Amino acid sequence: MSLPTTMKAVLVEQTGGPEVLQFKTDYPVPTPAEGQLLVKNNICGINYIDTYFRTGLYPSPKPEILGREAAGTVAAVGPGPNPANFQVGDRVAWLATGGYAEYSAVSVGKAVKIPAGVSDEDLMGSFLSGLTVLTLAKETYPVQAGEWVLLHAAAGGAGFLMTQILKSIGAKVIGTAGGAEKVALVKSLGADVVIDYRSEEGKDWVKKVKEVTGGRGVDVVYDSVGKDTWEGSLEAVKRKGTIVWFGNASGPVPPLPLNKLSPKCVKIARPTLFGYIETREEFEFYVNELFRLLQSGQLKVKIHKIYPLEEVAQAHKDLEGRKSTGKLLLRA
């Protein structure tokens, strides 16, 4: 296969709003280094973390091509280790950086062949997000059947999948979501109680959580909203309960005096997916579980919209403007 020397890509040279996402048509195609594959991307996932790197909330070297995951075809195999025996033409998914582009050079260690019967679209609708929620429900706090769980932003990319995983475990799920359409979507997944936390009635969602749980509070809160919800999450959790903060959609949680945790003996976790899938064995464990759930139809995927690469700024606006349900994708 002869490779082009330039490609379409979206470059960020300085931090800022969606306007810093620059669409290029003549960006150099990367060369795979030792232990890397060159992948011709088909679909790239858009994740909230991309906005943190764009704004500078999470520091990263610039210029940068955002995009932590994509599905596509192996276009070239770099020298060195290739334990999974990747070949040119294999359909693969990967976790790395540089996905907002036609081609990405990625480590063989975080790439995987996509099994037949799993589409690129379904996999990107559930890859980084799905692996995250599997680790959160299994390792960060091993959710048990019958436990009360409060899940914020339950209609979002991660939330849509997390609601299903929690219900499949047999947990009792209280979801929060902004607006009637999102509430209906989360209810359709079997959530026990869904609160529209942007409505007048749902504003006091802590009170509602207390009512539903007979005054006790929930066993665990999964909070990816951060700044706007962290105080309520501390109130809504039960004595000896756990709060899992895993994102900052509304801004980061301010520095937290640890003595705030003592009255109820609360445990706090601040996990990140990549910390759970560092080794190939850990990565494959969760990837295989995700493939099983997708192939058996147990995990439904919701794609908000597939945007062309040149419309990535609009995609970021929609994500940050709380306009989306499920996952936003880019076609490379």
Residues near ligand NDP, by CB under 6 A: 47-49, 129, 132, 153, 155-159, 177-178, 182, 224-225, 228, 246-250, 271-273, 319-320, 322, 324
Encoded amino acid at 330, one letter:
L
Angle 63-67-70 from CA coordinates, rounded to 5°: 140
Encoded amino acid at 145, one letter:
A
CB of 204 to ligand NDP, least distance (A): 16
For 198, counting Cβ atoms within 10 Å of its Cβ (0-12 exposed, 13-18 middle, 19+ buried), the class is middle
* Phi, psi values for residue 73, rounded to 5°: -125, 140
CB of 218 to ligand NDP, least distance (A): 18
Which tokens in the block code for residue 172?
């009792």
* 3-state secondary structure (DSSP) of residue 80: coil
Please give the Cα distance from 173 to 314 (Å, whole number). Answer: 32
Which tokens in the block code for residue 15?
């931090």
The b/e string for 82-112 (b: 16+ C-beta within 10 A; e otherwise) is eebebeeebbbbbbbbbbbbbbbbbbbbbbb
Question: Judged by CB, which is closer to ligand NDP: 76, or 128?
Answer: 128
CB of 280 to ligand NDP, least distance (A): 19
Question: Judged by CB, which is closer to ligand NDP: 18, or 178?
Answer: 178
Question: Judged by CB, which is closer to ligand NDP: 129, or 233?
Answer: 129
CB of 271 to ligand NDP, least distance (A): 6
DSSP string, 88-101: TT-EEEEESS--SB
Q: Do residues 99 and 46 make contact, with C-beta atoms less than 8 angstroms apart?
A: no
Question: Judged by CB, which is closer to ligand NDP: 193, or 249?
Answer: 249
CB of 262 to ligand NDP, least distance (A): 25
State the DSSP code for 15: -
Question: Judged by CB, which is closer to ligand NDP: 27, or 141?
Answer: 141
Which tokens in the block code for residue 330?
């880019």
CB of 139 to ligand NDP, least distance (A): 12
Question: Judged by CB, which is closer to ligand NDP: 70, or 225?
Answer: 225
Q: Do residues 4 and 31 make contact, with C-beta atoms less than 8 angstroms apart?
A: no
CB of 141 to ligand NDP, least distance (A): 13
Please give the Cα distance from 159 to 175 (Å, whole number). Answer: 9
Question: Judged by CB, which is closer to ligand NDP: 138, or 322?
Answer: 322
Question: Judged by CB, which is closer to ligand NDP: 98, or 156?
Answer: 156
CB of 257 to ligand NDP, least distance (A): 23
